Amino acid sequence: MMLLLFLLSVLPADAARISDVTETSALEQAVRFFTFRDPSLRLALAGSLLLGVSCGLLGAFLVVRRMALVGDTLSHAVLPGVALGFLWNMTKDPLAIFTGACVAGLLGTMVVGWITRTTKLKEDAALGLVLAVFFGAGLVLMGMIQRLPMASKSGLDKCLFGQAAALGGGDVKLMAVTTAATILLLSVFYKEFLVASFDVAFARTIGMPVRLLHGALMMLLAAAVVVALQAVGVMLVSAMLITPAATAYLLTDRMHRMLVLSALFGLCSGAMGAFFSFLGSNLPTGPCMVLAASALFAGAFLFAPRHGLVVRWWRRRSRNLQVARENTLKAIFHVIEAGGFSREGVALEELAARRRCTVDEAQREVLALVADRLATMDKARRVVHATPEGWRKAQAMVRNHRLWELYLTNRANFRADHVHDDAEEMEHLLDEETVRLLERRLDFPERDPHGREIPKVIGGGGGER
Amino acid sequence: MIPPFDWQRVVVAPWTDGLPTYGWVVLMGFLVALACGLIGNFLVLRRMALVGDAISHSILPGIAVAFLLSKSRGTIVMFSGALVAGLVTTVLIEFIHRRTRVKQDAAIGIVFSTLFAFGVLLISMFAGQVDLDADCVLYGELGLVGMEPYAMIGGVEIAPQPVLTMGIVCLLVVALIFFFYKELLVSSFDPALATSLGMRPGVVHHALMAALSVVVVGAFRAVGAILVIAMLILPGATAYLLVSRLPRMLLLSVIHAALSAVAGLHLGVWLDCSIGAAMVVAGAALFTLAWLRVLLGRRLVGSPPEPEGTSMIGG
């Protein structure tokens, strides 16, 4: 924020297009970007950052309220307002356009509500209808403006796909004001917005003005969308509302963290969009920003610590490996137990017979154990010995299994021949604390329901996770 | 700013002197609205109106990539690019929606905006090579349809190429609805029943999405990406307000398409604006009439609106 304030304070009033200089290489462009020499570039960047913050903050509320596409409808519905604001006094007066667009956007959301309340049409149809019809009306008006014989209309067409370079000082000031207002309102009424977003019924019972809050949110949203138009364009401003917020939603469960993250992602996408648009020297800014935001989303989608696709896959894989290792150890225990604990080595053939697999597969499983120092093999790779650590784990698995079987038969009244499969799964999940609890509940038993001894484990070592 | 309403120029001329041009325009407008409207009925009924929104945006990169890869602007290339893009969109939406806790509405928003942004970027980067520009994405070229080269069959000039293509698309849609009427009907209203009857609603869903992509790419070049949504939703929504039987709904949406094409032509000629946008405004006026009838009818009778899910099956 300090940087932004600094940037704003040094902005000159008038600015040339940043894309005017096109004969430079990408590297020179990058250098120009990062040295902030260009006044118009400073304006464009400040605008992109501001819009990223305000859209990110408001988008978070849209996403948790499942109103993501309301943002889409609202952003398309402002178009006739933009045109009417221009027609008001035939200049690109930011304030007139802002007012017109806000009114049109709010009218659009009101018509959606009205249609869904008074007819049997569902919300999706009403949203699509308002979106397209308002946009069509906007295009008709824009077409009329294009044919007006005057010069001041230039730049109005930029509001469809966005060109941050076309931002003027007045636009950026308006953006700063709306962003500040958004931050202020959201931080003062944070609790009210939070409750009204997650539990409308509760909010109503404690006497909150739910409809007023909804209206205020829509108002802020309309303002944010309208000021973002010049930079991202009507077509894609909804993405700046939805994508950063959805990215934040993948990463956290807390609304305040989501708001911060969402604003941060909006900020990043704004900066990246401005940068790439500048690098390519004539690319529209909106698509660049949206693609940057989508790249962030894809990153979170794949690598989020808890919900990420790759992370979940990796977690499942390492759990499966863990279970496989523990099952091999258990099989070693069973073979030795069947021999009355009279020897220590287990031949691979015996292990394979026990695991009902081929000798090769058994060897592969044992090699995985050897890699984890849970077992050793002789030089000929035929006989397996568990290490002390491996033996403890094997004992713990068998103990967990038999304890759970006993618990199910004694406490949950399962039949003794119905408990094995359940115990096969539970043995890997029980931790030391639960095992202690089971032992106490079952009065420190010696034998499982099938009459086999429950091994004692010296030195702990339950199913690790 | 509003041109004076000149009866001769606005109402008579398009049907007399201007007929060789405007005849094709109004026919094209009707065909677009017809194909969109028929498919749109099912979107409205299945509460998938916004999937139509998503597909109409996301076929843009499909078209652009198909063009850049093949360097041709042939109809088949365009349609296959759009088809692939449309199916990718539905699959991606479902993937994000299923695999994360992001809800469906947000998933729709993310997917189509990403693809659309990618398409716009492609077009602006290869602006010299792609015969599409940002204006076409928005406005379409319905007004110019009469000037397109004519398609020749057996040495006879039949119709402008886009009109012919759209006509074929319309025939396909009508055939699809005619032959799979029962499947569409049952799976739209009661997917569980459709499954138990062995109709596989998943296949119906994807087939509908494929048909939607084909229709949208045909309509897209005529009226632009956003107005396609209006073409998809308006006829179905208007009909849905007035009747509660699927056959009547389909019939009404055909009438809506014809009326909005003709009214849009006159409005567009009068205001000298994009005829596609004018068609949407005209269609919206028809919707408003239907809506007023619902509002007034309820006030006169004093009864609440019909309960949800009034059975259309058995009709």
pLDDT at A12 over 50: no
Are A287 and B273 an interchain contact pair (Cβ–Cβ within 8 Å)? Answer: no
Burial class (CB in 10 A: 0-12, 13-18, 19+), A264: middle
pLDDT confidence tier of residue B301, bands split at 50, 70 and 90: low
A76 CB neighbours in chain B (<8 A) are 226
* pLDDT at residue number B256: 94
Amino acid identity for residue A302 in this structure = L
* pLDDT at residue number A151: 52
* Nearest Cα to Cα of residue A59 among A204, A269, A199: A269
Q: What does the pLDDT look like over A51-75, one tens digit per residue? A: 899 999 999 999 998 888 888 888 8
A245 CB neighbours in chain B (<8 A) are 106
Average pLDDT, chain B: 82
The partner residue sitting opposite A133, judged by closest CB among B124, B241, B280, is: B280
Q: pLDDT: is A29 or A8 the higher one?
A: A29
Burial B169-185 (b: 16+ CB within 10 A, else e): bbeebeebbeebeebbb
Percent above pLDDT 70 for chain B? 84
* pLDDT at residue number A79: 87
Which string of DSSP letters, residue by residue, matches A422-451?
Answer: HHHHHTTT--HHHHHHHHHHTTS-SB-TTS
Q: Domain ranges for chain A, please list them.
A: 2-299, 311-386
* pLDDT at residue number A3: 43
pLDDT at A13 over 70: no
* pLDDT at residue number A317: 92
* pLDDT at residue number A5: 42
A239 CB neighbours in chain B (<8 A) are 109-110, 113-114, 117
Nearby residues of B89 by Cβ (< 8 Å), 6 or more positions away: B54, B55, B58, B111, B112, B115
* pLDDT at residue number A6: 41
* Nearest Cα to Cα of residue A71 among B288, B99, B47, B113: B113
Interface of B with A in 54-73 (CB under 8 A): 57
Identical fold between A2-299 and A311-386: no
Q: What is the mean pLDDT of residues A234-253?
A: 89
Q: Name the token pair of B119.
A: 């398409």
* pLDDT at residue number A22: 46
- Which one of A55, A58, A63, A72 makes the best mutation probe of the B interface by having the most chain B beta carbons within 10 Å? A72
* pLDDT at residue number B24: 85
B40 CB neighbours in chain A (<8 A) are none
> Structurally, what CATH architecture does the domain formed by A2-299 represent?
Orthogonal Bundle (1.10)
* pLDDT at residue number B38: 93
Instruction: State the Cα–Cα distance between residues A170 and A95, nearest whole angstrom.
Output: 9
The partner residue sitting opposite B274, judged by closest CB among A115, A122, A143, is: A143
Which range, of A50-59, A367-376, B10-19, B136-145, averages the lowest pLDDT? B136-145
pLDDT at A445 over 90: no
Other CB atoms closer than 10 Å to residue B238's CB: what's the count?
28
pLDDT at A383 over 50: yes
Are B305 and A120 an interchain contact pair (Cβ–Cβ within 8 Å)? Answer: yes
Q: pLDDT: is A448 or B157 the higher one?
A: A448
DSSP-assigned letter for residue A347: E
Percent above pLDDT 90 for chain A? 16
SS3 B305: coil
In chain A the first and final C-alpha atoms are separated, in Å, by 43
Q: What does the pLDDT look like over B23-80, one tens digit per residue? A: 888 888 999 999 999 999 999 998 888 888 888 888 888 888 888 888 776 778 888 8
Instruction: State the Cα–Cα distance between residues B193 and A285, nearest whole angstrom.
Output: 48
pLDDT at A18 over 50: no
Interface of B with A in 187-246 (CB under 8 A): 226-234, 236-237, 240-241
CB pairs under 8 A between A and B: 211
Which range, of A308-317, B66-75, B203-212, B271-280, averages the lowest pLDDT? B66-75
Q: How high is the ipTM of this complex?
A: 0.84
* pLDDT at residue number A20: 44
Q: What does the pLDDT look like over A95-131, one tens digit per residue? A: 888 888 889 989 998 999 899 888 888 888 999 999 9
Q: For strand A383-386 and strand B150-153, is the pairing parallel, antiparallel, or unpaired?
A: unpaired
Torsion sign over Cα B242, B243, B244, B246: negative
Which range, of A179-193, A299-313, B8-22, averages the lowest pLDDT? B8-22
Q: What is the mean pLDDT of residues A217-229?
A: 86
Instruction: State the Cα–Cα distance between residues A380 and A367, nearest whole angstrom.
Output: 13
Widest CA span of chain A, in angstroms?
A: 104
Which CATH number describes the domain made up of A311-386?
Answer: 1.10.10.10
From residue A65, give the alpha-carbon distance in Å to each of A125, A200, A217, B105.
18, 10, 12, 10
Q: What does the pLDDT look like over A410-428, one tens digit per residue? A: 888 888 888 888 888 888 8
Amino acid identity for residue B236 in this structure = G
Length of chain A: 465
pLDDT at A263 over 90: yes
Instruction: State the Cα–Cα distance between residues A347 and A342, nearest whole angstrom.
Output: 14
Q: What is the mean pLDDT of residues A270-278?
A: 85
pLDDT confidence tier of residue A275, bands split at 50, 70 and 90: confident
The partner residue sitting opposite B281, judged by closest CB among A67, A124, A137, is: A137
Residue B7 near residue B141, CB atoms below 8 Å: no
From residue A296, give the alpha-carbon distance in Å to each of A205, A229, A247, A287, A329.
39, 22, 7, 14, 43
The partner residue sitting opposite A297, judged by closest CB among B110, B226, B240, is: B110
Instruction: State the Cα–Cα distance between residues A295 and A309, nearest whole angstrom.
Output: 15
pLDDT confidence tier of residue A4, bands split at 50, 70 and 90: very low
Which range of A41-50, B3-12, B33-42 scores highest in mean pLDDT? It is: B33-42
Are B226 and A294 an interchain contact pair (Cβ–Cβ within 8 Å)? Answer: no
* pLDDT at residue number A169: 78
* pLDDT at residue number B152: 65
Residue B71 near residue B206, CB atoms below 8 Å: no
* pLDDT at residue number A462: 44
Closest residue in A to B310 (Cα–Cα): A120
The partner residue sitting opposite A140, judged by closest CB among B53, B273, B294, is: B273
**Homologous superfamily, domain B7-294:** ABC transporter involved in vitamin B12 uptake, BtuC (1.10.3470.10)
Q: pLDDT: is B221 or B304 the higher one?
A: B221
